[in-house]
Amino acid sequence: MSSQHTLQLGLASPGDAPHANDEDLVLYALQFLPDDQAAGLADHVEHCDRCRNELALAQGDLAVCAFASDLQLPSGLARQRLRTQVTRENHPVLHSPPALAAFGRNGSILAPPEDTLPKRSLAFTLLGWLGWIVAAGLAAVAATLYQGEITQRARLSVQTSDLTRLTADAAHNIPILDALNDPNAMRMVLTTKPPAKPQPLGRVTYNPSNGSLIFLVDDLDPLETGKVYELWLLPTDGRSPIAAALFHPDNQGNASVILPTLPTGVAAKGFAVSIEDDGGTQTPTPPFVLASS
């Protein structure tokens, strides 16, 4: 017999039309038949009620097996190796159906009938593959569950650490809040000491060629009644100071002298301010309260 596996047709009884081999129906349901053989069997099943019913029973058994466990499909290489092995199998035209043909019949899908002799056949090979597929599926599920448990434990550890830190922070902050809200506590505001009284500051703008003078002063002390401030020009040639103007500061100690009448052409080495009696004088009374350096 050729090593090429062909679609096997058995005779149910003399005079009956040939039917598809039971094992081929199971292989067709598992999608393990080569494409050319699967096409021939599909054409036969379309016109044969008996084979169509047997194929439906086999597909139903396989569906029950699939729902009973989380199956993982083998890799493409493994499926190709299994198809090659199926192709190499030889099936006599007339023989007792192997254990694999029990799909859709009275026999168990996991064990052959008691009157069937155990032998290493394609049925056992396929059942072995199904066992490995189921085991692989269970292993994948177990690995997923284990990884999920590890992830949950890590999250729980982080949450526990955060809760511990927040609890410690709350325990530390409670005494602080109690101290801030204590109605019997004293409350004070601290500031720097008042700054020393600002010193008077005068600014002069003078042009000797035309005798124009502008004098501005800040923070002068208030004067006694009958007293006045007098501004003096101090010539560079050593002459006596020249009276420039009389003035009184306002309540803030500010005052100004704008363009008083002065002789022209007098070079000044500086200016000074003295306190005099009302009406002023032609000779300053020491000491000067302000003087240019």
Query: Which pLDDT does position 28 carry in this prediction?
Result: 82
pLDDT over 80 (residue 287): yes
pTM value is 0.37
For 200-255, how does the pLDDT look when each residue is reduced to its tens digit (9 = 90+)? 999 999 999 999 999 999 999 999 999 999 999 999 999 999 999 999 999 999 99
pLDDT tens digits, 36-55: 888 888 888 888 988 888 88
Most confident of 43-52, 69-78, 271-280: 271-280
Q: 3-state secondary structure string, the chain?
A: CCCCCCCCEECCCCCCCCEECHHHHHHHHCCCCCHHHHHHHHHHHHHCHHHHHHHHHHHHHHHHHHHHCCCCCCCHHHHHHHHHHHHHCCCCCCCCCCHHHHCCCCCCCCCCCCCCCCCCCHHHHHHHHHHHHHHHHHHHHHHHHHHHHHHHHHHHHHHHHHHHHHHHHHHHHHHHHHHHHCCCCCCCCCCCCCCCCCCCEEEEEEECCCCEEEEEEECCCCCCCCEEEEEEEEECCCCCCEEEEEECCCCCCCEEEECCCCCCCCCEEEEEEEEEECCCCCCCCCCCCEECC
The stretch 256-278 carries a mean pLDDT of 94
Percent with pLDDT over 90 in the chain: 31
Which CATH code for domain 201-291? 2.60.40
Question: Looking at residues 19-40, what average pLDDT do you find?
Answer: 82
Check residue 168 and give its pLDDT: 83
Domain boundaries, the chain: 9-140, 201-291
How confident is the model over 205-215, as pLDDT tens digits? 999 999 999 99
pLDDT band at 26 (very low <50, low <70, confident <90, very high): confident
